[in-house]
Amino acid sequence: MAGYVVVGSQWGDEGKGKVVDLLGRHVNMVVRFQGGNNAGHTVVVNGKKTILHLLPSGILNHDALCVIGPGVVVNLFVLLQEIDTLEAQGSPCDHVRLSDRAHLIMPWHLRIDELMEKRAGKNKLGTTKNGIGPTYADKYNRIGLRVCDLKDWDVFSEKVRNVVSLKNEEIVKIYGGEPFDPEEVLAQFAAIRPRILPMICDAVDKIHKALDGGQIVLFEGAQANMLDINYGTYPYVTSSSPTSAGVCEGAGVAPQKLDRIIGVVKAYSTRVGEGPFVTEQLNDIGDKMREIGGEYGATTGRPRRCGWLDLPVVRQAVRINGLTDLAVTKVDVLSGFETLPVCIGYEINGKVYDTIPASIHDLEIAKPVYKEFPGWSEDISKIRSFEELPVNCQNYLNFISEYCGCRMCLVSVGPDREENIILKELIA
């Protein structure tokens, strides 16, 4: 039995795709367990970049079964597009499986996401407009459509016709939007159904058979702790649980099956979309990080907001996920900054806290308390051992580990699969 988990420890885009791809070469199965195509995971192999939204980042290893798990919300049209693009580039996708329990993102979810954001005006969340929130809302309202419904066309058609009438009322009466014709929606699904049916499986059974058979199963998180529906900067969050607990819920796996939980930590902070960001640098420093780090959204292309590393955030991820390891990425991006302030607490109304306040109002007025580290100027992208890193870089990294009470297994010094310093073998 070997369950591995990779999750984000900040606001997403930490480099989970890279770490999953790295591990993916040695595993038998890679499973997405939450979120949907709001994710944008980048894998770079020999300079060739692939961005994945819905397919697990282990997809480039043809020997690992790629499972879209029960807790994911699936836009089937995006799924097929992603498969077609990869296959056209010479990466076969016949090892993709789709959970029968996963919920479907329907065309009205996309429209409602967009209309809600428009109506919210200056209070918008800055969602990816992929229909994620409205799909999860319908799931919990118990009016969602699931992948298994597609197996019986009559069942699917009846459900679509029923739900459309309700959704059209919402779209037209609340938001003044354009309603859907259920027959048009059904025709779109009828056209793709023959390609979807062979991918459908009982994912929970597959995952358990693999674990019981001694195989290595890797659970790939999307988004991150600070975007978690329970522990993030609510309401500026996504609508799922991108945590190790989310693996249990979204893949049907018990906690004791998770042997190793790796949190990916970017060496500084970024955030896409709205919401509080205590260490944000709305200045030359933030611009420099964005340019050197290529900080533009892999899903929406939006410039990412950039700032200094926030360690109470990372420690919260260690606690909530039960992280066993930290994989620190994009350390190369920090070369050339004279001083590197690291946030170790928040001053709110004259009092200092080292935990994350629940109220976003508190976070909005919080002033970061920094510990400053001297920077380094060397290019570190060719370095492959910790001892060869500039001492200031070693000190910076060791402090992250110390503050968070979690060992480091990997230091990533470039986007490519090979640009790493391995401190503890990833598959042990």
Active site residues per annotation = 13, 41
Sheet holding 339-348, edge to edge: 351-353, 339-348, 367-374
Q: Which of 10, 28, 127, 225 binds ligand IMO (CB under 6 A)?
A: 127
CB of 203 to Mg ion, least distance (A): 23
Q: Which two tokens stand for residue 292?
A: 């050197």
Q: For the window 391-420, what string marks contact with ligand GDP as x by the rule CB under 6 A? A: ---------------------xxxx-----
Contact call for residue 247 and ligand IMO (CB under 6 A): no
Q: For strands 351-353 and 339-348, give the pairing.
A: antiparallel
CB of 205 to ligand IMO, least distance (A): 26
Q: In terms of Cα–Cα distance, which of 308, 306, 328 is closest to 318?
A: 328
Q: Which two tokens stand for residue 234?
A: 């609510």
CB of 389 to ligand IMO, least distance (A): 26
Q: CA separation (Å) from 57 to 45, 50, 277, 415?
A: 12, 9, 28, 14
265 pairs with which residues across the strands? 328
261 phi-psi bin (left φ>0, alpha ψ -120 to 50, beta other): beta
Q: Which two tokens stand for residue 425?
A: 């073998």
Q: Which is nearer to ligand GDP, 146 or 290 (CB)?
A: 290
Q: Which is nearer to ligand GDP, 18 or 290 (CB)?
A: 18
Contact call for residue 13 and Mg ion (CB under 5 A): yes
Q: For the window 269-298, what string marks contact with ligand IMO as x by the rule CB under 6 A? A: ---xx------------------------x
Please return the burial class of 164, using the count of CB atoms within 10 Å of its CB with bins 0-12, 13-18 and 19+: buried
Q: For the window 265-304, what string marks contact with ligand GDP as x by the rule CB under 6 A? A: -----------------------------x---x------
330 phi-psi bin (left φ>0, alpha ψ -120 to 50, beta other): left
Q: For the window 362-401, what string marks contact with ligand IMO as x by the rule CB under 6 A? A: ----------------------------------------
Binding site for ligand GDP (CB under 6 A): 8, 12-18, 40-42, 44, 294, 298, 329-330, 332-333, 412-415
Which parts of this chain interact with Mg ion (CB under 5 A)? 13, 40, 298
